[in-house]
Amino acid sequence: MAKKWMIVVFVFVLIIFGFSLRSMAGCKSECRDGYESEVEWCKDHYDDPGDAGMLKECIDDAKSEYQLCIDECGN
């Protein structure tokens, strides 16, 4: 009987862990999609060669926000 109970608990833990991984993967995918969208926005708005500094700053900001998003997914 104890063995059966341990198997039930083990399966339950695996299910919860699986949902956790799926949720984390979805979160990271959303972060990546947001980052890619922001980079495209930066490229569209700072397409003049004279805007190179602004383009770099915009992409750096997008990268920082992406990293914050990824960090939040881990929590």
Per-residue model confidence as pLDDT tens digits over 19-29: 454 555 789 99
User: Looking at this protein, which amino acid is placed at residue 8?
Assistant: V
- Domain containing residue 36: 2-74
Question: H helices within 1-75, ranges in order?
Answer: 2-45, 52-74
Number of structural domains (the chain) is: 1
Q: What is the pLDDT of residue 13?
A: 40
Average pLDDT, the chain: 80
Looking at residue 2, its pLDDT comes to 63
What's the number of CA atoms in the CB half-sphere (13 Å) around residue 36?
6
Predicted TM-score (pTM) of this structure = 0.66
